[in-house]
């Protein structure tokens, strides 16, 4: 039985290249990069000193994830021009846990490490002094979805997906499934990441995942790791088409069940996600793929090999690009921003390039978009998310006349 149609009714985003989706997309098309020196905290001693940051989202009194997500959600909802009863609106958000201000965390750590035992009183007093910077809600992945439900007055299902850099894409999958099952009539979905901070920079640095040169260049022969980014992309999906020209028609999910940080080298599970999405969509070829393309050595090579096998003889005609060369890696927002690019390609026939890609690695040989955007009719597109932990997600979109 053919799945119930789900249509893209509105897109909103706040990225390091623009505070809304049109301005972000325009600069992505020009091949611009938002990667720059980090100025929001002292980066002395860190493994890299650059990132794709959004400094305007940070204030002492607001969770930056909420600031980013709310603006993107308002934009998406206003563009959707849809009227749905509150109980029929679902909220599905990909988000990781937030973090307090680094100096506050350091003070709290110092408060409980003197002597041989934990001093609850000293810890509590230190927390009271820094309460504005150590709010419990800021640590919760669910805080963003709850706030978005309040913003829209949505009383339908609410769900948070925390699955590393597949979070945003898997939240969209959850929304599509809920719409197909009739659980809701419209869904606000997407992902948000505000991770250019000392904790994340140190953590990924210890893993050896960050570019030592401070350059993101997916699929390039000189790539040496990713650059941290941040941002939010939110979509309004609905069972009613309205004037939408983009349908979400194929979903594929799998797990490597292999390693916490490394992809399974054969790419078998990644291929299964891609082929499942294409099979459900009823397509055997694609006009473009918005790749996961992190700029890490193994991930890019595995994804490229998987695409060549899945696409087969149609691979040479399929354009491939990754926005991480321009925006860095926004972790939980990555799949949602990729989805926005794929939806825009189907709607407008504009495929964004991969910034930083100038010398294609032979192991990553595909029809890459470099320099500036490609303009052509796009009947079908796929977005990939291949996350740490081996969570793989592929989504196929197609043009509806």
Catalytic residue among 184, 189, 292, 368: 292
Beta-bridged to residue 392, according to DSSP, are 254, 386
Catalytic residue among 53, 57, 165, 189: 165
Do 206 and 29 meet the contact criterion of CB atoms below 8 Å apart?
no
Cα 140–chain centre separation: 18
Catalytic, 368? Answer: no
Beta strands 391-399 and 246-255, pairing class: antiparallel
**What is the C-alpha to C-alpha distance for residues 266 and 253, in angstroms, rounded to an integer?**
17
Catalytic, 292? Answer: yes
Phi then psi dihedrals of residue 361, to 5 deg:
-65, 125
Catalytic, 375? Answer: no
Catalytic residue among 29, 329, 364, 368: 329
Give how far Cα 390 sits from Cα of 252, 259, 268, 311, 361, Å. 14, 7, 11, 21, 23
**What is the C-alpha to C-alpha distance for residues 207 and 198, in angstroms, rounded to an integer?**
14
Beta-bridged to residue 233, according to DSSP, are 13, 191
Torsion over CA: 305, 170, 340, 328 (sign): negative
Written as six digits, the tokens of 325 are: 């060369």
| Rg, the chain, Cα only | 20
Do 51 and 228 meet the contact criterion of CB atoms below 8 Å apart?
yes
Number of residues that make up the chain? 401
Active site residues: 165, 292, 329
């Amino acid at each position: 039985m053919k799945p119930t149609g789900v249509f893209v009714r509105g897109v909103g985003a706040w990225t390091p290249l623009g505070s809304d989706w049109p301005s972000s997309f325009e600069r992505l098309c020009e091949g611009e990069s938002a990667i720059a020196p980090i100025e929001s905290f002292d980066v002395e001693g860190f493994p890299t000193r650059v990132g794709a940051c959004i400094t305007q989202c940070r204030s002492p009194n607001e969770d930056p994830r909420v600031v980013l997500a709310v603006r993107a959600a308002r934009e998406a909802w206003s563009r959707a021009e849809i009227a749905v009863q509150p109980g029929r609106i679902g909220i599905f958000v990909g988000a990781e846990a937030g973090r307090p201000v680094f100096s506050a965390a350091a003070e709290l750590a110092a408060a409980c490490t003197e002597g041989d035992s934990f001093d609850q009183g000293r810890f509590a007093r230190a927390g009271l002094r820094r309460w504005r910077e150590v709010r419990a809600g800021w640590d919760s992945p669910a805080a963003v979805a709850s706030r978005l439900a309040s913003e829209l007055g949505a009383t339908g299902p609410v769900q948070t997906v925390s699955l590393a850099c597949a979070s945003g894409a898997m939240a969209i999958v959850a929304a599509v499934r809920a719409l197909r099952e009739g659980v809701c009539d419209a869904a606000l979905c997407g992902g948000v990441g505000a991770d250019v901070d000392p904790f994340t920079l140190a953590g990924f640095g210890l893993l050896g995942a960050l570019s030592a040169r401070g350059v993101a260049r997916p699929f390039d022969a000189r790539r040496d790791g990713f650059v941290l980014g941040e941002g939010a992309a939110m979509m309004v999906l609905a069972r009613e088409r309205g004037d939408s020209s983009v349908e979400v028609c194929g979903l594929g999910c799998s797990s490597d069940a292999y390693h916490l940080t490394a992809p399974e080298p054969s790419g078998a599970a990644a291929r299964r996600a891609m082929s499942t999405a294409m099979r459900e969509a009823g397509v055997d070829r694609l006009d473009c793929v918005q790749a996961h393309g992190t700029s890490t050595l193994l991930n890019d090579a595995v994804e490229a090999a998987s695409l060549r096998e899945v696409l087969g003889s149609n691979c040479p005609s399929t354009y491939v690009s990754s926005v991480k060369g321009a925006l860095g890696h926004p972790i939980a927002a990555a799949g949602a921003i990729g989805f926005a690019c794929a939806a825009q390609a189907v709607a407008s026939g504009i495929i964004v390039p991969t910034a930083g890609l100038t010398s294609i690695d032979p192991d990553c040989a595909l029809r890459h978009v470099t320099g500036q955007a490609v303009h052509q009719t796009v009947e079908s597109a796929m977005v990939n998310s291949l996350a740490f932990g081996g969570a793989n997600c592929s989504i196929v979109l197609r043009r509806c006349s």
